[in-house]
Structure 1
Amino acid sequence: MQKSKQEIREAEAKEISVSMKRLVTGYRSLLEAAIESEGLTLAQLRMLNALQEQPETSAADLARTCYITPQSMQAVVTRAEREGWITRSPSPTNRRVLTASLTAKGRKVYERGMELWSEIARQTWDGAKLSELRTLNELLGAAVDRLQPRLDALHGKSASKRKTA
């Protein structure tokens, strides 16, 4: 019996999901191993990236942006402050809220982490044609756009459309 177009489409979508899971898992494992040698965790690199893009951010907003719990982000922020990667000061709009910003040392750590991330990206996509990369970017971007309303509802709209490492 011949499969319908819908059944074929669903099988292809499932295979794409499996391949994406393998890609993301492998990519993450390589990135974590690379940045661990620099004394960094993935959560710390995401936080540094978020602060690079949006200085003077509260720990609560960082948690939403990085998709981790506020308690976990508090531990990340505390360590980053102890390491001298960030400074914290009262928010100009709400003195009870502390906001974080990168220090020169934090920018250097961030830049090194991003170099390692970029190297893994180069290795991952080496050999792919530019047109293939553009097509893949368009397809993945459209898929994210379709999921975004559900992600916003799940994580809060302030995390919407932010790019993190």
Structure 2
Amino acid sequence: MGSLDENPAVKAMVVFRKAMRTIDAHVASSYKNNGLTQTQFSVLDVLYAKGEMTISCLISSILATSGNMTVVIRNMERNGWIYRTPNPDDRRASVVGLTEIGKQLIQKALPEHIALVEESFSVMTEEEQLTLINLLKKFKPKQR
């Protein structure tokens, strides 16, 4: 039985996770400085970029769990950052979107976040970043 370090797939996963933790730690101040958690920042960012959407679509967009998202959405709604309305196509579901306060908050937080992401990835050339994007796209779930 060989060492896990000799298994390229396992080694790649470990290196990938360490890199992701390093990047996450580096950009954390961009949402913490604005009184946000990482999940709250992600919700504001997705809604700002894509507009209002159902909660299930939001959950899949930011890879969160439904239990956690319920609490996050409730707190964000209470803070006045997002609104929730019944989905006209399915009354059992809700649609969420940004309030003006939420829009202002993400517009304030985004420039610092983008600068920190760019700083994190400055260890690679633009060509290397594009290569990384193409390699990581191979992990997309297969359509059924």
Q: Same fold per TM (> 0.5)? A: yes
Aligned residues: 139
Give the partner amino acid of 2:80: G
Shift of 1:77: 0.8
Partner of 2:93: 97
After superposition, residues 1-165 of structure 1 pair within 5 angstroms as: 11-126=7-122, 128-142=124-138, 144-145=139-140, 148-149=141-142
Which segment drifts farther, 127-136 or 32-41? 127-136
Give the partner amino acid of 1:84: G
> Any conservation in 1 of the 2:26–2:120 contact (CA below 8 Å)?
no
Cα distance in 1 between the residues matched to 2:30 and 2:91: 38
Which segment drifts farther, 111-120 or 33-42? 111-120
* Gap regions ≥5 residues in structure 2: 1-5
Check 1:92–1:21 CA distance in 2 against 1; reply closer, same or farther (3 A cut).
same
Q: TM-score, normalised by structure 1?
A: 0.71
Q: TM-score, normalised by structure 2?
A: 0.79
Shift of 1:23: 1.1
> Any conservation in 2 of the 1:56–1:91 contact (CA below 8 Å)?
no
Higher strand share: 2
Give the partner amino acid of 1:87: Y
- Among all aligned residue pairs of Structure 1 and Structure 2, give the percentage whose two residues are the same amino acid: 23
Name the larger-Rg structure.
Answer: 1
Give the partner amino acid of 2:76: A
Check 1:133–1:54 CA distance in 2 against 1; reply closer, same or farther (3 A cut).
closer
Check 1:86–1:29 CA distance in 2 against 1; reply closer, same or farther (3 A cut).
same
Cα distance in 1 between the residues matched to 2:29 and 2:106: 16
Shift of 1:47: 1.3
> Any conservation in 2 of the 1:89–1:98 contact (CA below 8 Å)?
yes
Cα distance in 2 between the residues matched to 1:116 and 1:89: 31
Question: CA RMSD of the aligned region, Å?
Answer: 2.4
Secondary structure of the 2:28 match is helix
